[in-house]
């Protein structure tokens, strides 16, 4: 390809202002400019070249100043095309020798023109022009670098804000530790890292290894503990309460109190090199953990598969990394302290809930485990409902906190039984034991009275020498009375047995209630008292209406007691949910006779679980355990009676919630 022809046009301007002459003269002038710049001691560090006969280039690092005759700008700009990118990136500037014909030079300036010198400049003129051009380029470079640093600072600041927000909103300790480690690695460009938590007392503190992350290798990690001393990097950072920065752990500085265990590297083929460990300090000034970062990379996107990758990519953690990690560690320490405190409070609160459940069930050992099972069934049902995509409950959503709230409400749904008399609470039969004993004694008295009366009559008969048949009749009368009374007592014992469903023959009880006897004082007394008759006439269960009202009052007590507990915003509905588990869809439930639309869905689910467990729980003194199929049928009866929610009962049945709860318990 032939070189472009650049022909200057003769002009009559002042001497040395424009080119006059041919290409040979321009080339000679450029050769002279090259020689002058190459020999200029004040520009000795620059490299001078001739990329084209009409161009001279002075280079300093990645910056360059290009010299060209003004004729090149006038009619030979294609010679400048290879340098367009450099001009655009402010890495090159143009100096024209001689004035171009175009006096409007805005375009030339936009394209990289720095200045115009005479067509035949002196050595000083060339020096000043080139030196000023480089100063301008360097100033632009510094400005761009400051802009990049500013952008980087704003980016890092934004990331730190996001990190702080993520840390302060996470309450789960394990998830928080994962966030802390992930974000610390992100802002510093670390390939891997681990995190430790301080445990134990002042006499025997330990570091518990909690978590490890690695972008390059996969491995199984388990928690373990190690003594908190200066023999490990993490321990040294914790004891000295300051960062430990090591360029290469295989070449530890002389006198280092700690060593490096290479077993992980030997097992996985990984090469640990640069390490930065920072203590996590609480707001009270206590070291509560250590954050350890491994292998800062030049390019965070690269993987360290081979040792050669580590050699090429891994660099020491710099001062900026320390600064960033320090800011993250400060926030992490406060967040971890809050999360640990929150976890401690949660465990304390759950301990209170467990103790409350034990207190409830200790008053009625026969229902032991009922509250826990109801909670398991109800939470299991809520999880299934949460995953529905159709049906009336497709929009029901239960978050983790919602499920915990539901669990607490279910565990404490019978908390109000503390306010119910124990004899009523554990009543196994329709009559209390002492009441049945009184009836037994009354019947024994009647039998003895009958025996005494018959014996008196028999003595009188013997005194008047009554026939044998009369004596036999008296004996038969006594046996008949005794058998009748024994049969009556057996009927009372049979009526005393409670039933799950309304059932029983109460005519005999009504008949006995009308009978009376004469006591030792000669007064007429009923064979059964009014209270005993009412108790034995209970059609379902073992409780009279008055006793059932007392049992029912446990729901009101539950709501009253639970409202005294400061549940906080997340669990504020616990009293409402627990206090509505005996409401019925048709408004006949208690204590508030709420209708379907007024009953929380959580309470509707708890009602199903409560009924199911009451039916299927192991044998109790007042009832036998109901088979599974029969229990489901009874739940369906509850739906027909508009007591239970049909859709939730269907889900409970089809999802076999009782089996899900059992499988979760075994995990």
Q: What string of DSSP letters covers 633-648?
A: HHHHHHHHTTSS-HHH
Contact assessment for residue 318 and residue 371, using Cβ atoms and an 8 Å cutoff: no
Question: For residues 55 and 81, what is the distance between their CA atoms, to the nearest angstrom?
Answer: 12
Report whether the peptide linkage leading into residue 445 is cis, meaning its omega lies within 30 degrees of zero: no
Question: For residues 191 and 312, what is the distance between their CA atoms, to the nearest angstrom?
Answer: 14
Beta strands per DSSP E along 264-359: 275-281, 287-297, 314-315
Structure confidence by residue, pLDDT tens digits, 541-575: 888 888 888 878 888 888 998 999 888 888 999 99
Question: For residues 195 and 207, what is the distance between their CA atoms, to the nearest angstrom?
Answer: 10
Q: Which helix (H) or strand (E) holds 153?
A: helix 123-169
Contact assessment for residue 273 and residue 297, using Cβ atoms and an 8 Å cutoff: no
Question: For residues 244 and 513, what is the distance between their CA atoms, to the nearest angstrom?
Answer: 91
Structure confidence by residue, pLDDT tens digits, 625-661: 889 999 999 999 999 999 999 999 999 999 999 998 8
Beta strands per DSSP E along 166-260: 190-199, 206-214, 224-227, 244-246
Contact assessment for residue 29 and residue 120, using Cβ atoms and an 8 Å cutoff: yes
pLDDT of residue 359: 80
Residue 658 tokens, joined = 């009782």
Question: For residues 238 and 273, what is the distance between their CA atoms, to the nearest angstrom?
Answer: 21
Section 584-597 average pLDDT: 94
Model confidence at 330, pLDDT cuts 50, 70, 90, reads confident
Matching residue, tokens 């009441």? 435
DSSP class of residue 57? Answer: E
Query: Is residue 67 classed as helix, strand or coil in its secondary structure?
Result: strand
CA distances (Å), 566 to each of 131, 359, 478, 562, 570, in order?
A: 76, 20, 69, 9, 11
Kindly tell me if the per-residue pLDDT of 155 is higher than 70: no
pLDDT of residue 326: 85
DSSP class of residue 620? Answer: B
- Determine how β-strand 190-199 pairs with β-strand 113-117: unpaired
pLDDT of residue 163: 67
pLDDT of residue 1: 40
Section 223-245 average pLDDT: 92
Kindly tell me if the per-residue pLDDT of 620 is higher than 70: no
Please list, in sequence order, all residues whose beta carbon lies within 8 angstroms of the beta carbon of residue 168, skipping any fewer than 6 positions away.
331, 335, 338
pLDDT of residue 11: 42
Structure confidence by residue, pLDDT tens digits, 471-485: 888 889 889 898 988
Structure confidence by residue, pLDDT tens digits, 102-153: 777 888 888 889 999 998 899 999 999 999 999 998 888 877 776 666 566 6
Model confidence at 14, pLDDT cuts 50, 70, 90, reads very low
Structure confidence by residue, pLDDT tens digits, 498-519: 875 555 567 888 888 888 888 8
CA distances (Å), 264 to each of 214, 259, 364, 542, in order?
A: 12, 14, 55, 68
CA distances (Å), 435 to each of 16, 120, 187, 482, in order?
A: 134, 132, 78, 21
Query: Is residue 277 classed as helix, strand or coil in its secondary structure?
Result: strand
Kindly tell me if the per-residue pLDDT of 619 is higher than 70: no
Torsion 551-555-557-562 (CA) sign: positive
Contact assessment for residue 290 and residue 237, using Cβ atoms and an 8 Å cutoff: yes
The pLDDT mean for the chain works out to: 86
Rg (CA), the chain: 48
- Determine how β-strand 63-69 pairs with β-strand 92-97: parallel
Question: For residues 95 and 641, what is the distance between their CA atoms, to the nearest angstrom?
Answer: 98
DSSP class of residue 34? Answer: H
pLDDT of residue 240: 92
């Amino acid at each position: 390809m032939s070189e472009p022809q650049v022909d200057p046009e003769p002009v009559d301007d002042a001497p040395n202002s424009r080119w006059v002459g041919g290409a040979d003269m321009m080339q000679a002038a450029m050769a002279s400019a090259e020689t002058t710049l190459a020999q200029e001691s004040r520009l000795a560090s620059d490299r001078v070249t001739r990329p084209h006969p009409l161009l001279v280039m002075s280079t300093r690092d990645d910056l360059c100043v290009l010299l060209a005759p003004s004729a090149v700008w006038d009619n030979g700009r294609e010679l400048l095309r290879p340098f367009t990118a450099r001009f655009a990136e402010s890495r090159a500037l143009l100096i024209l020798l001689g004035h171009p014909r175009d006096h409007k030079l805005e375009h030339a300036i936009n394209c990289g023109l720095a200045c115009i010198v005479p067509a035949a400049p002196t050595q000083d003129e060339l020096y000043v022009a080139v030196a000023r051009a480089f100063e301008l380029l360097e100033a632009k470079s510094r400005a761009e670098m400051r802009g990049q640093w500013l952008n980087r600072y704003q980016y890092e600041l934004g990331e730190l804000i996001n990190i702080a927000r993520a840390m302060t909103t996470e309450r789960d300790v394990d998830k928080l530790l994962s966030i802390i480690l992930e974000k610390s690695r992100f802002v510093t460009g670390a390939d891997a890292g681990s995190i430790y938590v301080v445990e134990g007392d002042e006499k025997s503190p330990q570091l518990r290894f909690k978590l490890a992350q690695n972008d390059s290798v996969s491995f199984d990690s388990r928690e373990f503990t190690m003594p908190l001393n200066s023999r490990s990097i993490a321990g040294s950072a914790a004891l000295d309460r300051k960062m430990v920065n090591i360029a290469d752990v295989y070449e530890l500085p002389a006198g280092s109190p700690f060593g490096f265990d290479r077993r992980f590297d030997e097992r996985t083929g990984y090469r640990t090199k640069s390490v930065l460990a920072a203590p996590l300090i609480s707001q009270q000034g206590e070291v509560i953990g250590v954050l350890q970062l491994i292998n800062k990379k030049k390019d965070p996107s690269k993987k360290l598969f081979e040792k050669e990758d580590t050699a090429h990519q891994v660099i020491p953690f710099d001062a900026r990394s320390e600064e960033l990690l320090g800011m993250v560690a400060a926030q992490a320490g406060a967040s971890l302290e809050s999360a640990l405190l929150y976890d401690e409070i949660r465990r304390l609160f759950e301990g209170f809930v467990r103790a409350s459940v034990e207190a409830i069930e200790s008053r009625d050992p026969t229902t032991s485990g009922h509250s826990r099972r109801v909670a398991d069934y109800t939470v299991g049902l809520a999880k299934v409902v949460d995953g529905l995509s159709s049906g009336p409950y497709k929009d029901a959503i239960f978050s983790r906190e919602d499920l915990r709230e539901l669990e607490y409400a279910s565990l404490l749904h019978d908390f109000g039984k503390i306010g119910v008399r124990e004899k009523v609470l554990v009543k196994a039969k329709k009559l209390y034991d002492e009441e049945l004993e009184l009836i037994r004694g009354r019947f024994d008295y009647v039998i003895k009275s009958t025996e005494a009366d018959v014996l008196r009559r028999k003595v009188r008969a013997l005194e008047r020498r009554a026939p044998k048949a009369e004596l036999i009749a008296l004996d038969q009368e006594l046996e008949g009375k005794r058998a009748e009374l024994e049969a009556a007592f057996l009927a009372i014992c049979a009526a005393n047995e409670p039933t799950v469903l309304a059932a029983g023959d109460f005519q005999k009880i009504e008949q006995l209630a009308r009978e009376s006897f004469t006591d030792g004082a000669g007064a007429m007394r009923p064979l059964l008292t009014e209270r005993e008759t009412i108790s034995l006439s209970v059609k379902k269960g073992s409780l009279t209406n008055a006793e059932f009202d007392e049992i029912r009052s446990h729901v009101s007590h539950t709501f009253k007691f639970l409202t005294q507990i400061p549940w906080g915003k997340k669990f504020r509905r616990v009293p409402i949910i627990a206090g509505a588990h005996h409401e019925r869809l048709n408004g006949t439930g208690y204590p508030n006779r709420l209708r379907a639309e007024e009953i929380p869905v959580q309470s509707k689910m708890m009602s199903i679980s409560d009924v199911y467990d009451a039916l299927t729980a192991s044998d109790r003194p007042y009832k036998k355990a109901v088979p599974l199929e029969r229990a489901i049928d009874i739940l369906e009866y509850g739906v027909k009676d508009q007591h239970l929610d049909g859709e939730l009962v269907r889900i409970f049945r089809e999802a076999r919630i009782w089996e899900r709860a059992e499988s979760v318990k075994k995990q």
